Amino acid sequence: MYKIPARWVQAGKTYPVYAKNRPTPARASHSGGCQDDSPIYNRDVCAEPQKSPLAVFNDDVVRCQKCARLRVYCESIAYSKRRAYSDWIYWAKPVPSFGDERASVLILGLAPGAHGSNRTGRPFTGDGSGDFLYPVLHATGFASQARSVSRSDGMQLRGCWISAVVRCAPPDNKPRPEELTNCAPHLDREIALLPNLRVIVCLGRVAFDAFLRHLKRVGQLEKRRYRFAHGAEYELAGGRHLLASFHPSLQNTSTRKLSQAMLLEIFERARAIVPRWAPEAGSEGERRAVTA
Ligand code: SF4
């Protein structure tokens, strides 16, 4: 039997733990299950600030393995790579959402790009769609910079949160219906964790339809006709607004089906609905409008 050296106990050090007794990542994340009287948690770890519910949510997304086809595809892309990114270690896991946890605007995309988000690990980062979207978010005050190239590029979002209806890159950017269904509970959980939402911007028809199914699941789909069109806007229960836009995919932007001016109009409309917010000095979580 392993005996803890007396000098360690006196010094208050962490007890060594056999591999089989190590906490799983879920427990180590302190998602509400911290057992600080257990010898496997030391005082220093328990003193760390608790993760926010959205950070725990993102951790759970990254560990998700529900769609075998997509998981295999993402990892195979990470192995074969694109020549231009041969020196990258691809993310190759489900892509977590990104943004301001107090967001009033949700941007809902389709799925990670095989060599974009699947490489960088952040939505709309490192591919043509992001090169098109982020300058617009920057111009409308939602993003701190116009270029999004990696998770460590310093980008910060303010008042918006970016997610997708499928969080693993699908072959040909086409998720199967069962994969959309598998990923739907993530969206339901995430939206419940964003209480300040006022505007939902759906990028593309697939995201638009997936958001309507979310409304149906949570019993908030009103009996009316919803039609996807660029610039379509619907007022939802609770004063929320649903805005529809073409997706900024290369297919749409290279054919000029979607221009940057068209996308800018969508986010200017979102900006008109929600004022700019800034945290109240000295009281985290409270907000005040700085401009209308
Ligand atoms: S697409 Fe969604 S449900 Fe499927 S493995 Fe990825 S995160 Fe999980």
Question: Quick check: helix, strand or coil at residue 266?
Answer: helix
Between the CA of 99 and the centroid of ligand 1 the distance, in Å, is 20
Same domain, 179 and 259: yes
Same domain, 176 and 129: yes
The reply to whether ligand 1 has any atom less than 6 angstroms from the CB of 64 is yes
The reply to whether ligand 1 has any atom less than 6 angstroms from the CB of 164 is no
Per the structure block, which two tokens stand in for 222? Answer: 């009103």
Same domain, 192 and 144: yes
The pLDDT > 70 percentage for the chain reads 78
Same domain, 97 and 52: no
Same domain, 59 and 197: no
pTM of the model: 0.81
291, part of any domain: no
236, part of any domain: yes
Q: What is the pLDDT of residue 6?
A: 52
What is the rounded CA–CA span in Å between residue 178 and residue 124?
Answer: 23
Between the CA of 71 and the centroid of ligand 1 the distance, in Å, is 8
Q: What is the CATH number of the domain that holds 173?
A: 3.40.470.10
83, part of any domain: yes
Write the pLDDT tens digit of every residue in 228-248.
999 999 999 889 999 999 999
Compute CA distances 76 → 21, 57, 107, 177, whole Å: 32, 26, 28, 22
290, part of any domain: no
Same domain, 49 and 161: no
**Ligand 1 atom 3, closest CA:** 183
Write the pLDDT tens digit of every residue in 174-183.
999 999 999 9
149, part of any domain: yes
Same domain, 116 and 198: yes
168, part of any domain: yes
Residue 40: pLDDT band with limits 50, 70, 90: very low
Burial call 216-249: b when 16+ CB within 10 Å, e when fewer: eeeeebeeeeeebebeeebebeeebbbbbbbbbb
2, part of any domain: no
Same domain, 220 and 244: yes
Same domain, 197 and 184: yes
**Ligand 1 atom 6, closest CA:** 168
| Ligand 1 atom with minimal separation from the 71 CA | 5
**Residue 33: domain span:** 25-63
Write the pLDDT tens digit of every residue in 174-220.
999 999 999 999 999 999 999 999 999 999 999 999 999 999 999 99
- Side chain identity, residue 81: K
Residue 223: pLDDT band with limits 50, 70, 90: confident
pLDDT of 277 strictly over 80: no
Mean confidence (pLDDT) of the chain: 84
Tell me which residue of 61, 63, 97, 281 sits closest to 183, measured CA to CA.
61
How many folded domains does the chain comprise?
2
Same domain, 83 and 198: yes
Tell me which residue of 108, 217, 89, 91 sits closest to 162, measured CA to CA.
108
Same domain, 149 and 214: yes
Quote the longest CA-to-CA distance of the chain.
72
Same domain, 177 and 32: no
